[in-house]
Every structure is written in C-alpha cells, then in structure tokens.
Amino acid sequence: MTHRITSPVRNRLSGSRSRTIRRLRAAAASAACAALVCAGAGTAVAAPPTASVDHVVARTDRWIQVFVDSPAMQRIVQVDVLLPPDRDSPHPTLYLLDGDGADPTQTESTWTMRTDAVQFFGDKPVNVVLPVGGGGTFYSDWQRDDPRLGHVRWETFLTQELPPLIDNTFHGNGRNAVAGLSMGGQAAMSLTFRYPSLYRSVASYSGCMYTAGVGQAYVRAAVAGRGGDADNMWGGITDPDWAAHDVSLHTDALRGKQVFISAGTDVPGAADLALDPSPTLPLTVSAAMAIEDGARDCTLALDAQLRLQGVPADVHYYLIGTHSWPYWQTALHDSWPTLAAGVTAGTE
C-alpha cells in the first residue's frame, strides 16, 4: 500500500473526425434495426430497449460530444468523449464523473470547463467519457422520480447502456476505469464495488465514502443543494439502500482493483486567491475550506479501514488544498498512473 504526502492537428482533422462521425451516424441509423430481433423465418420480436446515438457534435478532431437516447433516463443524455491519438486500435475507457455542482443546463463537462483534461489526455492511450450534468444525483438509480431532478437512472445508464455503445463506437476494449470528484468520487467508488466486473481502476478526489448512519447528513445536504429530496433517491433514514451504496461497508469488494483516493488539508493556497465560484460551485473560500475538511476526515477514516483490511490503495494527502477545481486537476494528474495500471497494462 502506498501512502504519499504531496504538495501543492489539422492534417489529420478531416480523416479522423470523418471516420468517427461515420461510426456515430451508423450507430444512430442502426438503432431502429436493433429494436427488433429475428426469431425464426419472417418473425420479429421486440428486444429490450437499448441506448442509441441521437446526434453528435464534433468540438475538435478528438473531442466529440455525443447525445445518447437513453431508455433508462427517458431523455437525451450528453456525454463528451476525448479520443486517444490512435483512433483505430482498441483502447480502454475512463469514465470521469462530475461533482455536485454539475448543472443539467451545462453544454460540456465541468472537467473540460475548469481543468486541463482535454490537453492532459491528448497523448494518453485511453477514451475518456465525461457525462454532462448529474449534480445532486450521486449518479444513482433513484427509487422515485423527483419533482426537481426528475427521472434519475444514472447507474443503469453508466453501467449497462453506455459501455457497449462507447466500446462499439470508439473501439473500446472492455477495460474500464472510473473516477470522480466529491459527489462523483463517492459515486465512482460505489459503482466499482457494485459492478466489480466492469471497472479495474477507480479514483476519488475529495469524496466521502460514508452514506449510511451519520454519513446521511452529508448526502442529504448535497442532494438538497440541487433542489432534490434524498428520500426519493435511497428512501427514508432506515432504508437499506443507504447501506447498499455505502463504500465503507463494502471495501473488501475493492480488493484487486487499482484504487486512488485523495484529499487536501483545507488550507487555502495561491489558487484560492482567485477562486472562481462560477459556473458550478457557488462557494466562498471559507465554504471550500469547510467542505474539504470534511472530505479529509472521510478520507482518513477510509484509509485506516483499507489498511486494517489489507486492501491496497494509493492515498494522497495534499498539504495545501480546498474543495475547488485547481486541486482536483492536480489529483487527476497524480491518479493517472494508478488508473492506467489497471486498464492499460498489455495494451500499449
């Protein structure tokens, strides 16, 4: 177990983009055919609905915005995809989740808005998939529709609908990693223990893995901050769904995965002098400090639990850092070797 303390193309454009868009359009065109399954001569029966591509927008030759018609979510869901330099050979996929501040009105992932993710992954042999929106949902399947957040089935979308669509369209090789910040960090870890055969690596930045017991207060506050009611998500206080999503109760399921977790001290640094709370985190520096203090306590507790159980993890405690984007960019960079160790071995 590693525990470290750290401080703070134009020529290829036409061909690469055209090939990618042709694949996406082919996927969209085949959706109607995929809705029927032949069952004997001249007989067709309805198959379970599958996600399909509604339309695409190419931001650059390697940044594609894909609008997915999701039966689970009952709407069109935007995911941004960053493509690797070699587009035509199989590659693993990293699903990079947003935090509680993500807003459904956004036109791109907050990772691309607030960090250097597009540039950082420019030379990495991996597809990066960034769901847009999802704030306050914990990327979960909700028990009931919510008056504010609507029909929420992120877990089904992320684990059942999206992976085959991404693999078939972007030459995915079936090796997946998932990472996220804050709320998305908890979701990444939860998805990993709930779907152990789907993910090989996981990273959480400033997340809290405790959702049952006293952890409910944190989750309920995050959901309420986006106008939702957590009772619609995992039920009342004693509902077993709270424990079913509590990473701290299922850490043994992380054994054999490449795990990265990190948090800051809550001590502000130079980046906080120019903290920009827009567009997704309406925080003051003092609020960012307080939230990160809680995230650090959660990380310390999970670290101790992993040690006791003998589950290896790469744990980073940053000497400087509040609950804000400049520090998550650093953590993303630092986590890449751990994430890559699980999904790229033998693929390069």
User: One digit per residue, pLDDT tens: the chain, 348 residues?
Assistant: 444 444 333 333 345 555 555 555 554 444 434 433 333 444 444 456 799 999 999 999 999 999 999 999 999 999 999 999 988 889 999 999 999 989 888 899 999 999 999 999 999 999 999 999 999 999 999 999 999 999 999 999 999 999 999 999 999 999 999 999 999 999 999 999 999 999 999 999 999 999 998 889 999 999 999 999 999 999 999 999 999 999 999 999 999 999 999 999 989 888 877 766 555 554 688 888 899 999 999 999 999 999 999 999 999 999 999 999 999 999 999 999 999 999 986 444
Q: For the chain, how many helices (H) and strands (E)?
A: 12, 12
Q: How far apart, in whole angstroms, are the C-alpha atoms of residue 34 and residue 169?
A: 15
CB 212 within 8 A of CB 249: yes
- H or E stretch including 69? strand 63-70
Residue of 292, 300, 283 whose CA lies nearest to 322: 292
The long-range contacts involving 284-291, CB below 8 angstroms and separated by at least 24 positions, are: 285/322, 287/323, 288/322, 288/323, 288/324, 289/322, 289/323, 290/266, 291/182, 291/206, 291/322, 291/323
CATH number for the region 2-8+51-343 comes to: 3.40.50.1820
Q: How far apart, in whole angstroms, are the C-alpha atoms of residue 65 and residue 129?
A: 10
Q: How far apart, in whole angstroms, are the C-alpha atoms of residue 118 and residue 81?
A: 10
Residue of 290, 216, 289, 201 whose CA lies nearest to 248: 216
Q: Indicate the burial class of 219 (C-beta count within 10 angstroms; 0-12, 13-18, 19 or more).
A: buried
pTM (whole model) above 0.85:
yes
